[in-house]
Amino acid sequence: MGAALPLLSVVLVRTRNPLNIGAAARAMQNFGASDLRVVAPYEASFREARSAVGAGAVLEAAREFANVAEAVADCRLVVGTTAARRRELHQPVIELQHAGERMRGALAEGRVALLFGSEKHGLTREDLDRCHWLLHVPAEPEQPSLNLGQAVAVCLWELARDAAAEPPPPPPEPGAPVGELERLGGLLMEVLQAGGYLHSGNEAGTRSEVRRLLLRYSVTEADTYLLMGMARRVLWKLRGSLR
- Is residue 105 involved in binding its own copies (CB under 8 A)? no
Query: Closer to its own copies at the Cβ: 92 or 177?
Result: 92
Our CB check for its own copies shows the closer of 124 and 193 to be: 193
Assess 4 for contact with its own copies (CB under 8 A).
yes
Dihedral over Cα of 147, 153, 159, 162: its sign: negative
Q: What are the CA-CA distances from residue 145 to residues 25, 84, 141, 142 (Å)? A: 20, 8, 9, 9
| Residue 20: burial class (beta carbons within 10 Å; 0-12, 13-18, 19+) | buried
The CB-of-194 to its own copies minimum distance in angstroms stands at 7
Q: Which of residues 148-187 bind its own copies (CB under 8 A)?
A: 149-150, 153-154, 157-158, 160-162, 164-166, 168-169, 172
What is the distance of C-alpha 107 from the center of its chain?
A: 21
3-state helix, strand and coil shares in percent for the chain, rounded to the nearest 5: 50, 15, 35
Q: Residue 20 carries which side chain, given as an amino acid letter? A: N
> Is residue 70 within the footprint of its own copies (CB under 8 A)?
no
Binding its own copies by CB under 8 A: which of 144, 177, 182, 208? 144
Which CB atom, from 123 or from 148, has the smaller least distance to its own copies? 148
Q: Is 225 in the site for its own copies (CB under 8 A)?
A: no
What are the residues binding its own copies (CB under 8 A)?
A: 1, 4, 19, 23, 26-27, 29-32, 56, 92-98, 137-147, 149-150, 153-154, 157-158, 160-162, 164-166, 168-169, 172, 191-192, 194-197, 209, 213, 216-219, 223, 226, 229-230, 233-234, 236-238, 240-242
